[in-house]
Amino acid sequence: MLKAIKHIFASSLLFAVLLTTVVTLWEWLENPGQIFRNEQGTHWQPLFDTAISWFLPAFSYALVLLVLLFLLKVVIQRVKLIRS
């Protein structure tokens, strides 16, 4: 059970980091209205805000989804065990 929890946490973390990296990099490259960078360099605070605003929900949703799928798997296994 502990191994499954670690796997769920690591998978959620990996998904959130990858999604956040892609979206933040995309926003930085697209740079609407020079929010993220201009000729003076990168504006780190808006970039950080964008990253956090993607990471937290992505991690949370992935974690909840994977926990629910794990619980569903456990219930299905127990039902099969009871029926046999």
Distance (Å) of CA 24 to CA 52, 67, 79: 9, 27, 44
- What is the average per-residue pLDDT within 18-26? 97
Q: What is the pLDDT of residues 27-52, one digit of tens each?
A: 999 998 999 999 999 999 999 999 99
Considering only residues 24 and 2, tell me which one the structure prediction assigns the higher pLDDT: 24
Quick check: helix, strand or coil at residue 71? helix
Residue spans of the domains in the chain: they are 2-83
pLDDT, residue 49, reads 97
